[in-house]
Amino acid sequence: MSTSVLYFSMSLDGYIAGPNDEPGNPGGDGFERLHEWFAPGGGEFVRPSGPAGELFDEINAAGAVVTGRRTAEQAEHWGGDIHGVPIFVLSHRPPGPSVANYPLVTYVNDGIASAIAQAKAAAGGRDVMVHGAYTAQGALEAGVVDELQISQIPVLFGGGRRLFEVLPSRVELEIVRVIDTPGATHIRYRIRR
């Protein structure tokens, strides 16, 4: 059975994007700092050694991705390919014409529960990776996310886009695993139901 997991690198003060996060500046100012544990200097993704490398492998083993339109468009739909798995994009509007070139990208307009269900069906028992702050908040609100994998980066951004800016109510979590590395503390939580 597939598990839906929010995967995010986050500053200690709760930001997953820096200030000035906009289409011309995806992720905002300083965004690359949040991903130095696997993309040194903001460059190519590189498998870290040790336990962080095992987490990197786990992320890359996901069987499908669910993301919001804003995130997908800022990432230019990842060129239609995130390690060869289906990408489900939440949106209230139809996709732009360029998406026709990406057979793995499906736009979903009937809500987060439908997107997660479609992604789990397509994931073949592997995890479903959830991207985007608004998508994460919607998935928590709808009760369709199972776990959170937060890579806590030792930096204070002081501004930007917070992952948990708006939540409908309290969400109880259970710590499943903690991996401490020099570049981040990686904490996996399970949602308590």
| Whole-angstrom distance, CA of residue 174 vs CA of residue 150 | 13
pLDDT above 90 (res 174) = yes
Domain count within the chain: 1
Q: How many CA atoms lie within 13 A of 92 on its CB side?
A: 1
Q: What is the pLDDT of residue 41?
A: 62
Which tokens hold the place of 18? 């820096």
What proportion of the chain, given as a percentage, has pLDDT over 90? Answer: 67
Verdict on whether the full-model pTM lies above 0.85: yes
What CATH number is associated with residue 143?
A: 3.40.430.10
CA distances from 143 to 66, 111, 156 (A): 15, 12, 29
Which helix (H) or strand (E) segment holds residue 58: the answer is helix 50-60
CA distances from 114 to 52, 138, 144, 145 (A): 32, 12, 10, 12
CA 21 to chain CA centroid, Å, is 16
Which of 47, 118, 110 lies closest to 86, judged by CA? Answer: 118
User: Whole domain around residue 47: which residue ranges?
Assistant: 4-191
pLDDT above 90 (res 143) = yes
Q: What is the pLDDT of residue 138?
A: 92
- The predicted-structure confidence for 41-60, as pLDDT tens digits, reads as follows 666 777 778 888 888 888 88
Q: Strand locations in 34-163, DSSP E?
A: 64-68, 87-90, 105-108, 128-130, 147-153, 161-162
